[in-house]
Structure 1
Amino acid sequence: MADQTAPAVTIVPARTAEVQARVPTSGSLVAWREVQVHPRVAGYEITEILVEAGDSVEQGQVLARLARDTLTAQLEQAEAEYTRAEAGVDQARSTIDSAQALLTQAVSALERAQRLRRGGTASQSALDDAIAAEANARAQAASAEGGLSVAQAALGQAVAARRIARMNLERAEIVAPVAGFVSARNAELGALSGGAPDPLFTIIEDSRVEFEGEVIETALPQLRIGAPATIRVAGLGQITGKVRLIPAAVDPVTRLGVVRIELDQQQGLRAGLFGYGWVTTAVRDAVTVPVAAVLSDGAGDRVQVVADGIIETRPVDAGLIWDGRREIVDGLSEGEEIVARAGAFFRTGDLVRRAEAVATDTGPAAEGEADPR
């Protein structure tokens, strides 16, 4: 029977429970990927604006229109140049046909003059004239071939000019390169396209918004791609997600790294909203005791084990703090009884008795806090 003069203490057993390690973070919601929409043809008046910031758009949807009169005239001019260049190729081919016919005739005349000269019925002067005529016809044929090359080059330029004119006319319609959410509109009616460095529109691709938060440098080694996260967003409450990007560098002044967390998408997510939360880096079952049962000082961590009413102050290896309980990595077994709120005034060998009403586990709950050592 316990000595009734011994001090009464709350005695609880060590028990196995789940503990979690969490890395805190705070920051803002940002676009998963921003796409800037610039005009692809410059110097033309903006005549229509069809979307506003906050609108959802589909890929290829028309966002704005530019004045088309000059662009249409340029295309008509390019079409005319193409037609003329095409006619020039046809003309060059006809010239080649004529030159080839003359060359054939000149070759025949030369062969006839040579036969007659060999037979003694033609003068040397007639042969010389036939040779000159054949050489001239051959030169004209070569020139005609060169003219075709020039005409074909001109046609190639006309084809390119027509294609550019067509593209410029098509670009008079500013379209969305991706589907998403219009986060900003800088386009103004009457302004000239390309007159300012700012994009006409900014689109958040696929309307996806994620969390960008700062993490203290000492916690970065614990982070892993895909680690689950929970973020509380202003006005929206708790949102789950997972780590998408781990910081590759740390700010040398603040000693913080920036982590990107992919959020489960829901209505109301907007870039710029403040958020805070944590990344869960470990979840495991472990022997635990109430937080207040662990005494920590420069000598290390220890608990006060009670056996047959006698205290044993035992060194332990304490770990995570979670949900009001402290993980005991080594030094204590499940089921061993300990003082729920350890007292520095107790020493090994002191007598204690169990309090009649066993209190619930107490102690500050510093969720996810790692062992301060």
Structure 2
Amino acid sequence: MIDRVFSEAEEKQPLVEVQSERDVNSAGPAENAVSEPSRQHLASDEDERGIPLEVPDEGEDSEVWEAEPTEVPASKNIKWLTVLAGAGIGVAATLLAVHLVAGKSARPPVAAPAVAQEPTTQTVTVATVESTQVAQTLEATGTVVASDLLPVLPQANGLQIKQVLVQEGDRVEKGQTMAVLDDSVLRSQIAEATARVQSANSTVEQAAAQVEQAQSAREEAEAGVAQAVAGVEKAIADLEQAKTGVGQAEAGVGQAKAGVNQARAGIASAQAKLDQAQREVNRTQDLANQGVISQQELERRKTERQTAVQDVNKAKADLNKALEEQNKAAEEVRSARAKVVNAEANISTARAAVSSARAKVNTAASAVSSARANVGNNAAGVRSNEAQVRQLETQLEQTIVRAPDSGLVAERIGRVGDVSSGNQKLFSIVRGNKLELQLKVPETQLSQVQPGTSVQITSDSDKRIKLSGTVRDILPLIDPQSRQATVRIDLPQSEFLRSGMFLRGSIATATAQGLTVPAKAILPQSDGTSIVYKLAGDNTVQAQRVEVGEISGGAVGDLTEAKVQIKQGLKAGDRVVVTGAGYLQDGALVKVAK
């Protein structure tokens, strides 16, 4: 994290080095010319903090402590070359700026008088090395994605987009109209289907009138039969034996008629069940289109409708069979009567009249049945057209593309003039405007990450992004190529975040007892190591090489108030110089400001 936060400062600022006595004495005129302006500049910096600054004389010799080399990991020490820049100390940068100015106007140095000088005391502030809990972190990078990205698809196919009412970045509420499809064709189809319904209703009324006419004709035919029978009563009395046969045949006709009536009743019952099943299918279809019930329930209703259709067909088959039985019985009656006619020629004319009258009755009965069948067929046409109207009205409602939930429009794909397709989305909505960061973590470090852990988030490209997130979970799959897992981080709301951003995350993994000092006390060296100035008992300072560890405290990306872990070189209770450390040498005399 240190390398990231202070990479720019490291490029701009030179390093502060610990000089040996030989280096100090051998410094050239140009180097010595830097000292006074630099110290004046830094003194003004210290004055702003309310700390008096006493600068030692340039000619003063001082003994420099040569620290024993300590083995420190190169990566950790290189990271600390940038600490001072992040902490706001900036000593080396000031020296460089003054050097550029002084190099142009430097005058030849004047030899110092060979007289003893009193050592100059430097005023500093100190801090005590503390033993405290130090947080350990895991660094990772990843991409910002939507926590829940909803696709918005049209429910109607093959219609042109007429209006697009939202743009990318707009907030939408659930049910809000996002786009409008061209509904002119559907409205025309609805008008045609409505006209067909009205026409079918008229046909049903006409068929009902035909039923009444056929019924009247049947009644007239039956009256004619009665008259014919009265004309042959005397002959029938003489031919009882023949009439017995005729009576038996007529009994068969009666049974056949009863069968016909029963079959018709069966048709009516089956048709009623079919009508009810069709209504249930229509109602269920509407609910399924709205997503209220499951597709399985709709299929069950359709199965019930199919069963009802089969029952109607069976009842019609039973009616046809009963009509055949009736016709067969009527044929037997005619045969018996023919035998009577043959046997009794004197009553042939009368019986012929009876037969003719009964034939008219049968014709009238057939006309009644046909008229009733027309009524049923036309009524079915009415229901079919009404169902089509309802279906078209549903499709008309689907020409309004609505937001499935509240959120932020992430994508606008559909444009005016495009043709809708049920499998091609028009928009994408970030549900609830919630974003998450998907960090890539090696599988070897996954055991250090736990849900609920805090994460400090920064961006290389946008320094305004300094956020605190929380580990939500770890996805179960590991990339077989990179051997990395995805850790999902819940992000707070921020106007600077965008889906697709590349961010860095510092995950707190554990805490351990350790020593810490203020970050401003650390002085990076050119060889990659770091030192602090430790306060000795005689008000002098000792340059102490240290091994640094984790950073804690302070805002994200700001080390001004941060503490640095000391792994080696100090012990608890030691006092180190914080303010003024950049002006000191090993063994320098200091005054501790209160």
Please give the residue correspondences for 1:128-277 in structure 2 after superposition, counting only pairs within 5 Å. Answer: 128-189=355-416, 191-194=417-420, 198-221=424-447, 223-232=449-458, 234-277=462-505
Q: Is the CA contact 2:170–2:408 (under 8 Å) kept in the aligned structure 1? A: yes
Q: 1:77 corresponds to which residue? A: 192
- Structure 2 Cα separation of the partners of residues 180 and 152 of structure 1: 48
Between the aligned partners of 1:74 and 1:107, the Cα distance in structure 2 is 49
2:397 and 2:208 map into 1 onto residues whose CA distance is: 35
Q: Paired residue for 1:54? A: 169
Provide the TM-score with structure 2 as the length reference: 0.42
Residues in 2 aligned to 1:223 and 1:101: alpha-carbon distance in whole angstroms: 92
Q: How does 1:303-314 map to 2 (within 5 A)?
A: none
* Contact 2:152 2:428 (C-alpha < 8 Å) held by counterparts: yes
Q: Is contact 1:43-1:192 (8 Å) kept?
A: no
Aligned length: 291
Deviation per residue, 1:154-177 (Å, 9 max, x gap) = 223212321232233333333322
Instruction: Output one character per residue of 1:196-224: Cα deviation in whole Å (capped at 9) or x when no partner.
Output: 97532222222222222212212334555
Counterpart of 2:155 in 1: which secondary structure?
coil
Equivalent-residue separation in structure 2 for 1:356 and 1:226 (angstroms): 32
Q: Contact (CA 8 Å) 1:41, 1:193: kept in 2 or not?
A: no
* CA distance, structure 1, for counterparts of residue 510 and residue 206 of structure 2: 81
Q: Which runs of 5+ in 2 are unaligned?
A: 1-127, 237-346, 517-548, 553-565, 577-594
Partner SS state of residue 247, structure 1:
strand
- The residue type paired with residue 214 of structure 1 is K
Q: TM-score, normalised by structure 1?
A: 0.62
Relative to structure 1, the CA distance from residue 13 to residue 248 in structure 2 (aligned partners, 3 Å threshold; closer, same or farther) is same
Task: Give me the whole-angstrom Cα distance separating, in 2, the residues matched to 1:118 and 1:25.
Answer: 114
C-alpha offsets along residues 228-254 of structure 1, whole Å, 9 cap, x if unaligned? Answer: 544335455343444444212111000
Aligned CA RMSD, in angstroms, stands at: 4.0
Query: How far apart are the structure 2 equivalents of 1:109 and 1:193?
Result: 70
1:358 to 574, 577, 580: 574
CA distance 1:98–1:46, shift in 2 (3 Å): same
Q: Which amino acid aligns with 2:395?
A: N
Larger Rg: 2
Check the 8 A contact 2:450/2:471 in 1, yes or no: yes
Q: Distance in 2 between matches of 1:138 and 1:262?
A: 81
Q: Which residue of 125, 145, 148 corresponds with 2:352?
A: 125
Distance change in 2, residues 1:187/1:141 (3 Å): same
Query: Matched residues in 2 for 1:164 and 1:156: separation?
Result: 12
Matched to 1:56, the amino acid is R
Give, in whole Å, the separation in 2 of the partners of 1:112 and 1:241.
104
Contact 2:469 2:490 in 1 (8 A): yes
Give the unaligned 5+ runs of structure 1: 1-11, 292-320, 325-338, 343-353, 361-373
Shift, 1:256, TM fit: 0.8
Identity %: 27
Asked if structure 1 preserves the Cα contact closer than 8 Å seen for 2:161 and 2:182, the reply is: yes
| Contact in 2 for aligned 1:75/1:165 (Cα 8 Å) | yes
Match of 1:28 among 135, 139, 143: 143
Classify the secondary structure of the residue corresponding to 1:87.
helix
CA shift digits 1:92-115 (9 cap, x unpaired): 444445545555665676677667
AA aligned opposite 1:205: R
Match of 1:305? none
What SS does the aligned partner of 2:489 have? strand
Q: Counterpart amino acid of 2:405?
A: V
Matched position secondary structure for 1:272: coil
Letter in 2 for 1:182: V
CA–CA separation in structure 1 for the residues paired with 2:495 and 2:407 = 14
Q: Distance in 1 between matches of 2:471 and 2:400?
A: 39
